[in-house]
Structure 1
Amino acid sequence: MKTVAILVFPDVLMLDVAGPAEVFSIANRYLAPEDHYRLCTISSAEHNVRASNGLRLLADHVLEDAPSTFDLLLIPGGPGAYNDKHEELQPWLRQAIQASCRYGSICTGAFILGELGLLDGRQVTTHWNYTERLAQRFPAALVSTDQIYIQDGELLTSGGITAGIDMALGILAADHGKKVAVAVAKVLLVAMKRQGGQSQFSPLLAEVAKEDSPIARAQQHVLDNLEQDLCVESLASVAGMSLRHFARTFAKDVGMTPMDFVHSARVDRARGLLETTNLPLKTVAYRSGFRSERCMRVLFSERLGLTPAQYRHQFG
């Protein structure tokens, strides 16, 4: 029997706890008794914990009486994970992680592991909306922005919220084979393996800064004129800069080349049209500035890991 412990704390995200727990609980229906998962929850303070959605959880243990050796120790996310350093649980957590076979985080639970220095030099991920913050707060971590979940040795980290279910299914498949994992996925009505990564859920571009700088003017020109034939030369002209100076300054200020910005803006425009209209793909491509439906499909597959048709099926 494998033991799975899930840490809980004030403002924890309920689905980060319940999602993986249901995977292992349902798996027990398909496993011999000696192969079952035994689940427990451990609170950082009191047994009674209020989650971020206002509901209360009754933990099995508090730190003082909790065991410290598990086959798998999971740290969920939520506002309580990234808004607090949780110094009170760090000694117990450090010891428990060292004594356990595997450990990992769901969503923003990665911030708690980061405070212990456990992300340094490791391939990790978190919810797409927090990857940049995670990378800034723990610069020694190797943060992936797209993967649904990552395993780096005994450490597992997952993307946002329901990605904890994907990770738990992956753990189940590794423990007991794909057949059992697929059976559990069917019960939960989720895909055993998702198409695409986290990037399909996040905008490729952040909002353009509301300032009257040459680079901001060029960015806004792109967003206002996506159907036009945009090239670096024309954008440099809008910015009133030489071609070389514009390209270098744009990459430095924006973090991508001018044409990467144009392509990402076109993908984001197309995504909005696919989500909110029934326009033919050829029309979506034209209104987003792509030369053809094929060009749009190639860039979608490159940036998001799925085609425009698949994206519309998933989000439209």
Structure 2
Amino acid sequence: MQRRVLIVVFPGFQLLDMAGPADVFATADLLVSGGGYRVEVAAVGGGAVPAGNGVTVTASALADVAGPIDTLLVAGGLSVPERLADRELVAHIAGLAGGARRVASVCNGAFLLAEAGLLDHRRVTTHWLAAGELDARYECVEVDADPLYIEDGNVWTSAGVLSGVDLALALVARDHGHALARDVARGLVVYLHRPGGQSQFSTPMRALTPRSEPLRELQAYIDANPAADLSVPALAARAGMSERHFSRVFTEQTGLSPGRYVERSRAEAARRLLEVTGHPLDRVARESGLGTPETLYRVFRRYWRISPGDHRRRFRSKEK
């Protein structure tokens, strides 16, 4: 029997908040013989609903939704602040949630869940730009701006936009196992199921994107090869520049010195390894380019004020 997924949208919603999860569930349905998913989209009044980017989708009317719902998912979008005053929309979300096995939101769709009273006394996340406002507006909601997604009881919330794909993959993994979630991720050519505890913030987000194409390629090389020789002489040679000129241009265009960028990139690689593998710390240190467990520990304490072991215990993916 197919699991029914109802995605709630509204004028001005973020298209990727709907399309990303919808494609995850639809791909899973293709890979599962029986017991997959059926995705529906609904809005107040139904009909043509414009997304924030101008693309229009056709939705059924929320008032006409009948029968059991497996997963109720609420999209976000720049128009969410004005939608909070839409009593009909909020009432439909609250009513449908009561009959759903689980409830989820993408990005600032969490505000609509909170407005419907569905997040009281729960730990939740949302887009990091909106986390402060969510925390201030709803005193009974515990907001954590860092994770990609959070599960609290039967309520799942996720961070900004494309983290909705990570959330949907996690739901597929919960329903059908991690092997299927990995197959769906491969089919969609996306990251293989990032754990929810992984931070919204990644090394590339902490540095500027260089204007120079060779430096952009070099930045990508650093992030993809943390255990390589990433010394200034090696990087300068790879970029075809003198060491002095390379250091100056890289720092000017990224806002970080080459050494600091490499250290952050390696720290991020170590964090991923701790979250998705069971490798001992000495292997994590080697494969992330940090060299020794002592350096791994020192870098973790510097950036995240937590030991590598504590981080693994807190954020390790349950699929391993």
TM > 0.5 fold call: yes
CA distance in 1, matches of 2:55, 2:75: 16
CA distance in 2, matches of 1:153, 1:31: 26
Following TM superposition, by how much is the alpha carbon of 1:65 offset from its aligned partner in structure 2, in angstroms? 1.8
Q: Which secondary structure does the structure 1 equivalent of 2:183 belong to?
A: helix
Structure 2, gaps ≥5 residues long? 207-250, 265-294, 309-320
Match of residue 233 from structure 1: none
CA distance in 2, matches of 1:283, 1:11: 40
The one-letter amino acid of 1:180's match is: L
Following TM superposition, by how much is the alpha carbon of 1:31 offset from its aligned partner in structure 2, in angstroms? 0.3
Following TM superposition, by how much is the alpha carbon of 1:276 offset from its aligned partner in structure 2, in angstroms? 5.6
Contact persistence 2:119–2:141 (CA under 8 A)? yes
Contact persistence 1:106–1:126 (CA under 8 A)? yes
The one-letter amino acid of 1:299's match is: R
Contact persistence 1:68–1:95 (CA under 8 A)? no
Distance 1:193 1:278, change over 3 A: farther
The one-letter amino acid of 1:13's match is: Q
Match of residue 71 from structure 2: 72
Following TM superposition, by how much is the alpha carbon of 1:39 offset from its aligned partner in structure 2, in angstroms? 0.7
The TM-score normalised by the length of structure 2 is 0.65
Q: Which secondary structure does the structure 2 equivalent of 1:6 belong to?
A: strand
Contact persistence 2:158–2:164 (CA under 8 A)? yes
Following TM superposition, by how much is the alpha carbon of 1:79 offset from its aligned partner in structure 2, in angstroms? 1.5
Following TM superposition, by how much is the alpha carbon of 1:66 offset from its aligned partner in structure 2, in angstroms? 1.9
> Percent sequence identity over matched residues?
32
Q: For each residue in 1:141-182, what CA deviation from the matched residue of structure 2 results, as whole angstroms up to 9, or x when unmatched? A: 011111110111111100111111001000000100000000
Match of residue 81 from structure 2: 82
Q: Which secondary structure does the structure 1 equivalent of 2:38 belong to?
A: strand
Name the stretch that deviates more: 187-196 or 149-158.
Answer: 187-196
Q: Which secondary structure does the structure 2 equivalent of 1:199 belong to?
A: coil
Contact persistence 2:128–2:159 (CA under 8 A)? yes
Q: Does residue 1:43 correspond to 2:46, yes or no? A: no
CA distance in 2, matches of 1:159, 1:201: 17
**TM alignment of 1:218-237, pairs within 5 A:** none
The one-letter amino acid of 1:97's match is: A
CA distance in 2, matches of 1:81, 1:202: 28
Q: For each residue in 1:55-112, what CA deviation from the matched residue of structure 2 results, as whole angstroms up to 9, or x when unmatched? A: 11111x1123222530001001001223321211233222211011111111100000
**TM alignment of 1:211-222, pairs within 5 A:** none
Rg larger in 1 or in 2? 1
Match of residue 221 from structure 2: none
Name the stretch that deviates more: 81-90 or 40-49.
Answer: 81-90
Name the stretch that deviates more: 87-96 or 166-175.
Answer: 87-96
Distance 1:293 1:65, change over 3 A: closer
How large is the RMSD of aligned CA atoms in angstroms?
3.0
Contact persistence 1:72–1:103 (CA under 8 A)? yes
Structure 1, gaps ≥5 residues long? 205-271, 286-291, 306-316
**TM alignment of 1:1-316, pairs within 5 A:** 1-32=2-33, 34-59=34-59, 61-67=60-66, 69-85=68-84, 86-194=86-194, 196-200=198-202, 275=254, 279-281=258-260, 298-302=301-305
CA distance in 1, matches of 2:14, 2:185: 21
